[in-house]
Structure 1
């Protein structure tokens, strides 16, 4: 049933053309008689494309196998037939490329029962011919005839145990041979790998928890759902911004001192540069006074002349006064930007930050125009 399920799924994905697909078939088996193990069954490495397969299949299979065995958490089961020279084993060759230390590689010898009479695989199984960090395990699977006869796995395992127990070559190794021993060995090794990884996994989880808690703290308490509570929240946030802005203006944070500097330094310096010495020179005063009354004679200096001198003098103040308004406006805009950035409660709500900035800048723009008009009237 398991084999048929896998075959049907494969045919759905690739058709019956003997092609391969990198899309995995996930098959879960639950039983009290099996060990906890995740097994990824990859296609065997090939050297020649058979009929119905594209020429690229050799490289395609190798690429697919590499994509799995290169992962540092993967345990590699390098399977090699015992009736072939171990020196030509593609599985061992690839394993040594991706796992040069051999920490992740387990060697498996199959078809021990099909070796030529008079030969055995003791050189490999005892680690002399091709030593690995982990011991080699020999297994005996069902023959094609057994598969055709539907010999079940329980009978196949019993037959395998009998083979090793009665074999004159492998009898002394029988306790460390066979599929059941291999499954337990892999399960135990997987358990030890998981235990070794647990401290780093725990550290990663704890770090993630700390980061999420910091983010949660930054995000703050839940936002109310009903409109009244939301309005109250928005007003509270606006008050928080207002508090920070006032601290910049009134003291405690830098900002207000720059506005004071405009009136204490910038404006007086601009006024000192005004050309009053030329405008109020004796020659110019005489000229303005003499022209004030036209042809009418006068006994004392006419009032209209004085007024004209004062009006034209006041006009000189217009430029520095407007420049002072602009300078204060720029400082206030900068204080708005800084206050929004420094209001902790607002950091959760970027959209509200933008809205407050827009509203504040629009208000400052209106006040600048009013300020200029008032200044010119004064």
Structure 2
């Protein structure tokens, strides 16, 4: 019965998103792209893929920022087609997927207001998936308090702000604490919604959102070392979902060094590889270590999304496709930047989504 009802309401859009997934670049496409000598050659190689002539109106010389922007806009157009044609509860699920981008956009505007920057200029830097009808209205705010009340009333993020933060918090708290507080509320809310849908969606999204929650918990822990953030404040930023919750979270809340984080991650089979060669990571400096850990997390994220797109009759395919497509855009942007900078020795240092 679940399969029949799913197909009636969502079968067509599931077919569309599976078509999107099948058009992701394959290994031979990346091989051709890495062999390009110029960005004009790069553009011609992309024309033979699903990207087609998306750069045809762009004059030479191309920039990597233009390639990334146009690829992102193609992604947004595909996502909006899905959302425009979706019925409840899929349309609500797709809305949830955009809230993470909304958080980043609103944080960008808050940062601009705190530093007296022209928020209109910041609008151009907002991610298009996080743009909502009333976002430009936030630009009329001249103080943090005005911006807070605009966010509270005018945006879909209102419950997260109302339940977690006050206007004075925006002045007093570090911007990353605000971001992580909002993300915690968002992930817990999205997870609860997916669990309420039940069935295969609850299982697949439970897997994906648990990883996202754990990734944030690990990063918050490591980034708080050597800062003024207290251990009690750190613990309050951890999402109350994920494989690390509650026992791992309790240990990480009190951790003082990387080795303790490694010991916690070693308890989760999928996370054991995060700190392999941790001594080498530490020897490369904090920035190099963070980059290596981020790459390993991206690789696991790709693996999880790739596996879970195989399962049918569930909403996780929509989430997984978006994440894989974003990784593809990061990969082609990296290759393009290496070509532009003539950094051929690093051109293969990307993570293919397939």
TM normalised by structure 2 equals 0.27
Query: Which of 1 and 2 has greater Rg?
Result: 1
TM normalised by structure 1 equals 0.25
Larger relative CO (CA 8 A, sep 6+): 1 or 2? 2
Indicate the structure with greater helix content.
2
